Structure 1
């Protein structure tokens, strides 16, 4: 089969998902046309795929100007989606005119999820599928603390209409609550949605001691890990504020792992002076490899998930759960839901520094750090092997 994969994103989990999915289809014996923005094709992960599979993978470009114009659409979210759907339709038509495309896959269907429900598949009669990560219209009805999204009922209607598409293979979701909600409220189309556990793996040989030694952190320090793309929404500012205003947390150190935004870097330099002077802050200000990722979690005592206005699933939550590290997390969204349901740590109001201080004190006073107390078997199947096997079980693959 010849599979067309369309993915404009080139950073963070977008790129990781893309590389794994493309490789999975290639290793299953399929030929792939990968359509991305031109700069993405220069990334080492994509170049290595091209080198390894040569004639079985073809690269095509999404027009950058049209993509940027779509992102800045003045006609709200649905206006942006309609423009992105048109870009994907045009890309598909151009490629399908020279090579017969058997299947189209969107690793991040959210680009055009609701516009596809509104206007139909952009891929004609060709079978297609994709992964959605952002729907939240079902949260409140499912017991998740979150604001009701704008046009919630319309989004639910469009989502279900998308599921009813005749050419749709399956929509995969990393939100198990969404699959249960659709099964309950729209049983006739429940076979068109499938839960796919958000993959997160820790591969490496670091122990607590070796990780601390490599990072230059004292074994007696209490280390809070903030991991991922470190931008303003990760709540780093309120975490630092809470620690600055406490005289009882002088043994707490911060381990910041991931590329920092300019604003976050500037904030740290301006407001974490005591941490810097006392050498209680450690930074790996870049995209880290798998060994460094495992080292970061091995070295930490607590994982910070006090994200601002983040309501969807978190791969960092899964990493914390499988490594047995207690979480201090926002009470809202799927982070709050999982922390409560699986007893993964403490939920806090991310606007209240005093709650952060109390959460740290509660976790450290329990004397359960670096034990199996916070491990959850619920996340044992959240790995790339299971993820790719689930994708390969679609009817048309």
Structure 2
């Protein structure tokens, strides 16, 4: 089959969530019939870090392209300068789109490209982008610094929606989408589900607990993901250390994921203190976990901890917890707090109230009552399936 029309997808970052977002998009594209081809532009390190993604998506209607080593080095050197990085990425996209005679450009991470959208020359074709962290609603603005930041982002976002070059802005925050559509009367912004591919767990809960060494009667609290200072691990350790030994003996803290070196050192200090205070069981599995194996850790747990510090945006942890029908414990801040409350996904902690986490933790251990609405959890998990995310984007071209 011959494909005449080309859509250029640009993803310069090979770390974190970026490869997963790209992979889900390409797999859905291959499973459906679209009358265009995809040219996927990445940096050279993507080929080194994610050969399986390249292999699994090799097809006549997907062309993988790499920037040059010189361009890649320029990009790495510009990462600390948002304006310089944005200008470079915009220029790269425009050049490749021209050479490919692309009909559309999709920029997989648009947050830092908004200023470039206003100031740089328009490419030969329309562009779309994914906006991960708008702060229009649900983020308190208190200090002068926060107010300046809010209005800078507010005015910039409003301005780019009037740019003819911008076709569609995909946004993971449904409340921000509602705000823009109602208050700015713009139809360029579309809600985008957060793509999570949940693979079924093949082992029994009893067997998983045996392999991990979890005592059957314990309540399991899970911290999952890249373990850095954003995860709130210190807060969890300090709070668990305050439990009486009578309650602590019934608790297991399961920490899964690769460590940030500095956070690991701090954790070890906190662990030594915790072990002196009570008998909370702490189990770590500190390595990268393949997608196919992730869900077993959620299903073996009773509560999912997502105590991110002042977190902006979504988290796949929310979707995985909902899919496993396990209550999320998170702060009443930002998008995560708003969705958790509205969708009844779990328990909210108020940072403004001293020892609120400790009091609610003790209440959980004293009660067997159900936390969260399981029907709503399922609906939320179903909404955020990877295929729904991919369909929203691909159907828009």
TM-score (norm 2): 0.86
Counterpart residue number, 1:18: 22
Shift of 1:289: 1.6
The question of whether the paired residues in 1 share the 8 Å contact of 2:98 and 2:124 is answered with no
Shift of 1:199: 2.0
Selected match of 2:42 from 15, 33, 36 = 36
What is the SS of the residue equivalent to 1:335?
A: helix
Counterpart residue number, 1:125: 124
Selected match of 1:382 from 378, 381, 384 = 384
> Which residues of structure 2 form unaligned runs of 5+?
none
Counterpart residue number, 1:355: 356
Shift of 1:152: 2.2
The question of whether the paired residues in 2 share the 8 Å contact of 1:229 and 1:259 is answered with yes
Shift of 1:45: 3.4
Counterpart residue number, 1:267: 266
Q: In structure 2, what is the Cα distance between the partners aligned to 1:341 and 1:56?
A: 39
The question of whether the paired residues in 1 share the 8 Å contact of 2:240 and 2:274 is answered with no
Residues 123/5 of structure 1: CA separation in 2 closer, same or farther (3 Å cut)? farther
TM-score (norm 1): 0.86
The question of whether the paired residues in 2 share the 8 Å contact of 1:255 and 1:282 is answered with yes
Counterpart residue number, 1:110: 111
Shift of 1:24: 3.5
Q: In structure 2, what is the Cα distance between the partners aligned to 1:351 and 1:370?
A: 22
Q: Which moved more, 1:197-206 or 1:2-11?
A: 197-206
Counterpart residue number, 1:216: 213
Q: In structure 2, what is the Cα distance between the partners aligned to 1:12 and 1:224?
A: 23
Residues 261/286 of structure 1: CA separation in 2 closer, same or farther (3 Å cut)? same
Equivalent residues in 2 for 1:63-102 (5 A)? 63-73=71-81, 80=82, 82-102=83-103
How many residue pairs get matched? 379
Q: In structure 2, what is the Cα distance between the partners aligned to 1:324 and 1:3?
A: 38
Shift of 1:123: 4.8
Shift of 1:375: 5.0
**Cα deviation 1:66-120 (Å, max 9, x = unaligned):** 22332222xxxxxx1x32232123212432453212211112111312432x315
The question of whether the paired residues in 1 share the 8 Å contact of 2:40 and 2:64 is answered with yes
Equivalent residues in 2 for 1:273-312 (5 A)? 273=272, 280-312=281-313
The question of whether the paired residues in 1 share the 8 Å contact of 2:192 and 2:392 is answered with yes
Counterpart residue number, 1:77: none
Shift of 1:243: 0.9
Q: In structure 1, what is the Cα distance between the partners aligned to 2:364 and 2:124?
A: 55
**Cα deviation 1:36-60 (Å, max 9, x = unaligned):** 222122123333246x326841322
Residues 115/362 of structure 1: CA separation in 2 closer, same or farther (3 Å cut)? farther
Selected match of 2:394 from 389, 392, 395 = 392
Residues 163/327 of structure 1: CA separation in 2 closer, same or farther (3 Å cut)? same
The question of whether the paired residues in 2 share the 8 Å contact of 1:175 and 1:195 is answered with yes
Equivalent residues in 2 for 1:115-194 (5 A)? 115-116=116-117, 118-119=118-119, 123-136=122-135, 138-139=136-137, 143-145=138-140, 148=146, 150-187=148-185, 189=186, 191-194=187-190
The question of whether the paired residues in 2 share the 8 Å contact of 1:322 and 1:375 is answered with no
**Cα deviation 1:143-173 (Å, max 9, x = unaligned):** 5546545342232222122222213221110
**Cα deviation 1:11-45 (Å, max 9, x = unaligned):** 22111102222333455454333222221221233
Shift of 1:264: 1.7
